[in-house]
Protein backbone atom coordinates (compact mmCIF):
# COMPACT_ATOMS: atom_id res chain seq x y z
CA UNK A 1 0.00 0.00 0.00
CA UNK A 2 1.13 3.54 -0.63
CA UNK A 3 -0.14 6.63 1.14
CA UNK A 4 -0.03 10.02 -0.47
CA UNK A 5 -0.42 12.83 2.05
CA UNK A 6 -1.53 16.34 1.19
CA UNK A 7 -1.93 18.94 3.86
CA UNK A 8 -3.31 22.41 3.41
CA UNK A 9 -3.52 24.24 6.74
CA UNK A 10 -5.97 22.26 8.86
CA UNK A 11 -7.09 20.09 5.92
CA UNK A 12 -5.48 16.73 5.34
CA UNK A 13 -6.09 14.38 2.42
CA UNK A 14 -4.76 10.83 2.47
CA UNK A 15 -4.86 9.01 -0.85
CA UNK A 16 -4.40 5.28 -0.45
CA UNK A 17 -3.56 2.73 -3.09
CA UNK A 18 -3.15 -1.03 -2.87
CA UNK A 19 -4.46 -3.09 0.03
CA UNK A 20 -5.33 -1.94 3.53
CA UNK A 21 -4.87 -5.10 5.59
CA UNK A 22 -3.06 -6.63 8.56
CA UNK A 23 0.33 -5.98 6.97
CA UNK A 24 -0.27 -2.40 5.86
CA UNK A 25 -2.70 -0.98 8.45
CA UNK A 26 0.17 -0.01 10.80
CA UNK A 27 1.49 2.29 8.02
CA UNK A 28 -1.80 4.20 7.98
CA UNK A 29 -1.89 4.29 11.76
CA UNK A 30 1.60 5.80 11.73
CA UNK A 31 0.71 8.36 9.02
CA UNK A 32 -2.30 9.50 11.04
CA UNK A 33 -0.34 9.69 14.25
CA UNK A 34 2.18 11.99 12.57
CA UNK A 35 -0.35 14.32 10.99
CA UNK A 36 -3.77 14.29 12.63
CA UNK A 37 -2.97 16.81 15.36
CA UNK A 38 -4.69 20.13 14.60
CA UNK A 39 -6.54 18.74 11.56
CA UNK A 40 -10.15 19.88 11.25
CA UNK A 41 -10.99 18.29 7.91
CA UNK A 42 -9.66 14.80 7.17
CA UNK A 43 -10.35 13.22 3.81
CA UNK A 44 -9.54 9.68 2.69
CA UNK A 45 -9.43 9.04 -1.03
CA UNK A 46 -9.89 5.30 -1.65
CA UNK A 47 -10.06 5.55 -5.44
CA UNK A 48 -6.99 3.36 -5.89
CA UNK A 49 -7.55 1.13 -2.87
CA UNK A 50 -8.30 -2.47 -3.86
CA UNK A 51 -9.70 -3.85 -0.63
CA UNK A 52 -9.75 -3.51 3.13
CA UNK A 53 -9.88 -6.02 5.97
CA UNK A 54 -10.87 -5.51 9.61
CA UNK A 55 -7.35 -4.25 10.35
CA UNK A 56 -8.21 -1.23 8.18
CA UNK A 57 -11.57 -0.75 9.89
CA UNK A 58 -9.81 -0.56 13.23
CA UNK A 59 -7.63 2.34 12.05
CA UNK A 60 -10.56 4.14 10.40
CA UNK A 61 -12.62 3.81 13.57
CA UNK A 62 -9.84 5.32 15.67
CA UNK A 63 -9.50 8.19 13.16
CA UNK A 64 -13.27 8.77 13.18
CA UNK A 65 -13.36 8.93 16.98
CA UNK A 66 -10.52 11.43 16.97
CA UNK A 67 -12.16 13.55 14.27
CA UNK A 68 -15.51 13.51 16.10
CA UNK A 69 -13.71 15.62 18.70
CA UNK A 70 -11.78 17.97 16.45
CA UNK A 71 -13.54 18.32 13.09
CA UNK A 72 -14.92 16.19 10.28
CA UNK A 73 -13.83 13.18 8.31
CA UNK A 74 -14.98 11.94 4.92
CA UNK A 75 -14.16 8.84 2.89
CA UNK A 76 -14.32 9.19 -0.90
CA UNK A 77 -14.26 6.97 -3.99
CA UNK A 78 -15.05 3.68 -2.27
CA UNK A 79 -15.21 0.63 -4.57
CA UNK A 80 -17.85 -2.17 -4.42
CA UNK A 81 -15.83 -4.62 -2.36
CA UNK A 82 -14.91 -2.04 0.28
CA UNK A 83 -18.47 -0.66 0.32
CA UNK A 84 -19.76 -4.16 1.13
CA UNK A 85 -17.31 -4.37 4.02
CA UNK A 86 -18.62 -1.02 5.30
CA UNK A 87 -22.22 -2.20 4.87
CA UNK A 88 -22.02 -5.57 6.60
CA UNK A 89 -20.08 -4.13 9.53
CA UNK A 90 -22.39 -1.13 9.97
CA UNK A 91 -19.51 1.25 9.21
CA UNK A 92 -21.80 2.99 6.70
CA UNK A 93 -23.50 4.53 9.73
CA UNK A 94 -20.27 5.52 11.46
CA UNK A 95 -18.35 6.98 8.54
CA UNK A 96 -19.28 9.76 6.15
CA UNK A 97 -18.92 8.17 2.73
CA UNK A 98 -19.15 10.40 -0.32
Partner 1 sequence: MKELTVDATVENIEVVTDFVNEQLEALSCSMKAQMQIDIAIDELFGNIANYAYDPEVGPATVRVEVVDAPLSVVITFIDHGVPYDPLKQEDPDTTRAAEEREIGGLGIYIVKKSMDEISYEYKDGQNILRIRKNI
Contacts of 32 (CB under 8 A, 6+ apart): 14, 59, 62, 63, 66
Q: What are phi and psi of 51, to 5 degrees?
A: -155, 170
What minimum distance in Å lies between the beta carbon of 9 and partner 1?
Answer: 25
Using CB under 8 A, pick the residue from 2, 10, 81, 96 that binds partner 1.
81
CA distance linking residue 28 with residue 83, whole number of Å: 19
Q: Does 68 bind partner 1 (CB under 8 A)?
A: yes
Q: Smallest distance, Å, CB 18 to partner 1?
A: 11
From 9-17, 30-38, 39-47, 76-84, give the range in contact with partner 1 by CB under 8 A.
Answer: 76-84
Does 65 participate in binding partner 1 (rule CB under 8 A)? yes
CA-based nearest residue to 5, from 60, 62, 43, 48: 43
Question: Within positions 12 to 41, which residues make up the interface with partner 1, using CB under 8 A?
Answer: 19, 21-23
Amino acid sequence: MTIDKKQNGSELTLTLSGRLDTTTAPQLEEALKESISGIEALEFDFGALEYMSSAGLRVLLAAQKKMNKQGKMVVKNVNDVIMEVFEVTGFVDILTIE
